Amino acid sequence: MVGRSSFLIVANRLPVDRNVEQDGTASWRRSPGGLVTAIAPVMQRRHGAWLGWHGAADEELEPFEQDGMSLIPVPLSATEVELYYEGFSNATLWPLYHDVVAPPIFERPMWETYRAVNERFANAAAEAAEEGAVVWVQDYQLQLVPAMLRKLRPDLRIGFFLHIPFPPVELFWRLPWRRELVEGLLGADLVGFQLPGGAANFRRLCRRLLGVPYKGNEIFLEDRVVTTQAFPISVDFGELDSMVREPQVISRAKEIRMELGDPEHVLLGVDRLDYTKGIGQRLEAFGELLKEGRIGPGEAVFVQIATPSRERVDEYRRLRDDIELQVGRINGENSVLGNQPIQYFHQSYGKQELAALYLAADVMLVTPLRDGMNLVAKEYVSCHHDLHGALVLSEFAGAADELRQSFLVNPYDVEDVKRQMLTAMRATPHELARRMRTMRRRVATYDVDRWASEFLTALETPASAPATSHSASWRSG
C-alpha cells in the first residue's frame, strides 16, 4: 500500500464494478447508486480512499486508482460471502431491522464469520488511515468496525451511517449478539440514521442494554461522548433534473408510452426484488381493481421492474417465483388481445432508461412494507419538472417523512392501496402540480451533496465533553 489517507470510506463494496469484454479484457467502471454518487465527489476533493470488497470471491487485488479515487480491495472467500454477506448481513440483520417482515436466522457460524470479516475491514482501515484521519463506515454489514477500529487507532475521527431502518428495542432484543453490535456502533464518534426515530431507538437500546445515560442526541460513555443524529439521504437532484430535459430522454419516454399501447395511465414500480418492497401487495391491489372493473380494459398499464437481488438466498428465489406466478395469473385473467395490464421485467436498467421510465409514468408506486429511505421516490420527483405525475408512497418508507404531499398509503391495507391508486389516477392536473411542486422543492433543497456535507460537518465537530455527574435530565429510556 502506497501512502495513507486523511479521509477514508469503509463500505462492504468498492464503488466500482468490473466489466469484462468479449475478448476477455477487464476494466472498472463506477457503480450506480446513491452512496457512490454522494461520496465520490467528496473523496475526490479530499483525495480520499475507499476500502471495500471488489465483488469476486477468493481473489486478492492490490490497491488501485480509478476515476480519481484510491481504492483498497478487501478480500472475501466464497465461504465468507455465504456466511457474512448472504448469511448474517442479509438473512439475520436485514429482516430483523425491517420489522421482521421475514423471520431472521440466528446461527453462530454466520455471526462468527461476520465478526471475523469486520475485524479484517477494521485492520485494513487502521493500516490505510493516516494520523488523525476521518473514517466514515457505511451500513449494517460493518457494525462492529467502529469499536474494533477505535481500539486499534484511538486517534481517528470515526463516523458510521446506517442506510436501513434501526428497529425498536423489542425487536433488536431478539438478537443473541445484541450487546456486541451495540458496543461496536458506540466505537464511532457520530452514528447517523435515516430518521430521528431510528436514532431514538438506538439511544433507548444503549440505556436499556448497557446502562449508559443520554441527553438529547448525545450518549455519555465513561471517556467519550457519542452523537446520534438523523441525516436523511437523498439523490443528485440536479443531475436527474438535467437528464430528463435531454431530447433523447424525452423522445424515449414518448416511445415507452407508445410501446405500452399509449394507455391513459402508466403506473410504474421500480424495486430491487426484495420481500420488504411490497411488490406482491401492490400487484394484488392492481389486480383487484381490474377484476372489479374500476380500471377498464386498456385504461392503465402497470410496469413493474424488479432488479435481481441476492439470488443465492432461498427467501429471494421463493419471492421471485411467487411474483412471477402472481403476474401471470393477473395477466391471464385480465388481458385482452394485444394488451397485458402488467408488464413485468426482472432485469436492471441504466440511468437514462430509468429516467425515461420515470418521465413516462403517470403514477409511481413506492409501497415498501419497511424501508430506511427509498431513493426511487426522490428520483421520480426529481424527474418531473413538468409537475405532472403522482407518487403513491408507503407510510413505512423513510421518504414519507419528507414527501408529505405524496399519496400516502398503508401497504398492508390493500383497500387503502387501491383507493390511493385510483385517487392518484383521477387527480386533476392542478392538484398534481401543487403536490409535485412542494415535493420537488424539498428534494432540490436537501440533495445528496447536502446529506454528505451535513454528516461530515457533524462528524468533524467535536461533541460536548463527557459530563462529570449524572443529572436528572438524562433519559432513562
pLDDT at 45 over 70: yes
Q: 237-445: same fold as 5-230?
A: yes
Q: What's the CA gap between 129 and 433, in Å, rounded? A: 49
* Right CATH for 5-230 from 3.30.950.10, 3.40.1190.20, 3.40.50.720, 3.40.50.2000: 3.40.50.2000
Residue in 387, 421, 305 with CA at minimum distance from that of residue 408: 421
* Pairwise CA distance, residues 262 & 355, whole Å: 18
Q: Output the pLDDT for position 470.
A: 36
Give the dihedral of Cα atoms 208, 401, 277, 263; nearest 10 deg.
Answer: 170
Return the number of other C-beta atoms located less than 10 Å from residue 352's C-beta. Answer: 14
Distance CA 199, CA 218 (A): 10
Residue pLDDT, tens place only, 449-469: 899 999 999 999 876 555 443
Average of pLDDT values for 19-31? 79
Tens digit of each residue's pLDDT (9 = 90 or more) over 193-207? 999 999 999 999 999
Q: Which amino acid is at 433?
A: A
Higher pLDDT among residues 470 and 52, named by residue? 52
Domain boundaries, the chain: 5-230, 237-445
| String of DSSP letters for 231-288 | ------HHHHHHHTTSHHHHHHHHHHHHHTT--SEEEEEEEES-TTS-HHHHHHHHHH
pTM of the model: 0.93
Q: What is the pLDDT of residues 409-423, one digit of tens each?
A: 999 999 999 999 999
Cα–Cα distance, 172 to 169 (Å, whole number): 5
Instruction: List phi, psi (to 5°) of 46.
Output: -95, 0
Which residues, including other chains, have CB under 8 Å from residue 470's CB and lie 6 or more apart? 213
Which residues are 336's β-sheet partners? 339
Q: Which of 351, 270, 267 lies closest to 302 in space, CA to CA? A: 267
Query: In this predicted model, what pLDDT tens digit does every residue of 424-441 receive, in sequence order?
Result: 999 999 999 999 999 999
Which residues are bridge partners to 53 per DSSP? Answer: 13
Residue type (1 letter), 242: S
DSSP element (H, E) containing 6: strand 5-13
Calculate the CA dihedral of residues 149, 49, 40, 56 and round it to 10 degrees. Answer: -80
Q: Which CATH superfamily is domain 237-445 in?
A: Glycogen Phosphorylase B; (3.40.50.2000)
Which grid cell is 348?
Answer: 436492471
